[in-house]
Amino acid sequence: MLTTSLPGGTWTLGGLTVTRFGYGAMQLAGPGVMGPPADRDGALAVLRTAVELGITHIDTSAAYGPLVTNELIREALHPYPEALHIVTKVGANRDQQGGWPPARDPESLRRSVHENLETLGLDVLDLVNLRLGDATGPRPGSVAEAFETLADLQRQGLIRHLGVSNATAEQVAEAQAIAPVVCVQNMYNLAHRRDDELIDALAGQGIAYVPFFPLGGFSPLQSSVLSRVAARLEATPMSVALAWLLRRSPNILLIPGTSSAAHLRENIAGAALSLSDDDLVELDTIGR
């Protein structure tokens, strides 16, 4: 059994136990998530620090760079510690302009799963999320063909568990009718709470919800209420935002991104911040 001193304790994703405080590797690629990082050694150090601090959940995608974050993860951490689980995504490519065109046809998905296996140096991927929607968010539409393709790769033994990302509640339900879904990775934070109902519904089913952009992503969370609560607690707004997510629901797993080992340490310490009921009531006014 995995024990951890990281804030939030652990969660079991399918059969895989992970720390609820994880790490999102997207920020390790170059500007615009394209190309290599300016500080390659620094990027490798962030990954090694994450594992040294006990994090057992790293989120990545072959589309980051493309291939850059997967290759950094392999270089920094392979052979992987047994407790470490790397979660990847398929369903989008990159274009010359740095866009994220969808690539959800069966052939592209199969290619992407093999590309992830190869670049991460794995025989089986622990968890693959099917990325849906587009850069503006989830888009309605059937996921059947794409999710069936991944379920087939799972039956072939190339993937242990499946999830969906950037998905509507209807798409989550459609995917669940095809194969078990162990997590949903959507945009959510103190200021963007479109998924409140979905989070509660998933919690009832024992399914993890993994918010991307927990700190606001490319534009940091800004709110006078958040700043006021943070000042009162003598903490940073980022600490409050992460601590709030851990309190919001037990099925929420954190994957804040950073290219800095110092920020990673700060975020772990910050997520352990204790929020009072009054703090929660005040913070609850932000995204409503």
Binding site for ligand NAP (CB under 6 A): 24-27, 59, 89, 131, 165-166, 185, 212-217, 238, 255-260, 263, 266-267
CB of 221 to ligand NAP, least distance (A): 8
First to last CA, the chain: 38
Q: Which is nearer to ligand NAP, 56 or 185 (CB)?
A: 185
At position 281, the amino acid (one-letter code) is: V
Phi (first) and psi of residue 62, to 5 degrees: -65, -20
**Minimal distance, residue 89 CB to ligand NAP, in Å:** 6
CA atoms within 13 A of residue 65's CA, in its CB half-sphere: 20
In this chain, which residue has its C-beta nearest to ligand NAP?
257
Closest CA to 116 of 98, 89, 151, 153: 89
Give the nearer residue to ligand NAP in terms of CB position, either 149 or 166: 166
Please give the structure tokens belonging to residue 40.
């390659």
| Least distance between ligand NAP and beta carbon 1 (Å) | 26
Catalytic annotation present for 64: yes
Between 268 and 277, name the residue whose CB sits nearer to ligand NAP. 268
- List the one residue out of 276, 279, 286, 284 whose CA is nearest residue 224: 286
Q: Residue 118: how many CA atoms within 13 Å on its side-chain side? A: 8
Q: Which is nearer to ligand NAP, 94 or 131 (CB)?
A: 131
In whole angstroms, what is the distance from residue 85 CA to residue 81 CA?
Answer: 9
Least CB distance to ligand NAP at residue 271 (A): 10
> For ligand NAP, which is the closer residue by CB, 92 or 153?
92
Q: How far apart are CA 183 and CA 164, in angstroms?
A: 7
Characterize the bridge pairing of strands 125-131 and 159-165: parallel
Q: Are 132 and 167 in contact (CB under 8 A)?
A: yes
Measured from the CB of residue 277, what is the shortest distance to ligand NAP in angstroms? 26
Of 96, 98, 153, the closest CA to residue 128 belongs to 153
Residues marked active site are found at 64
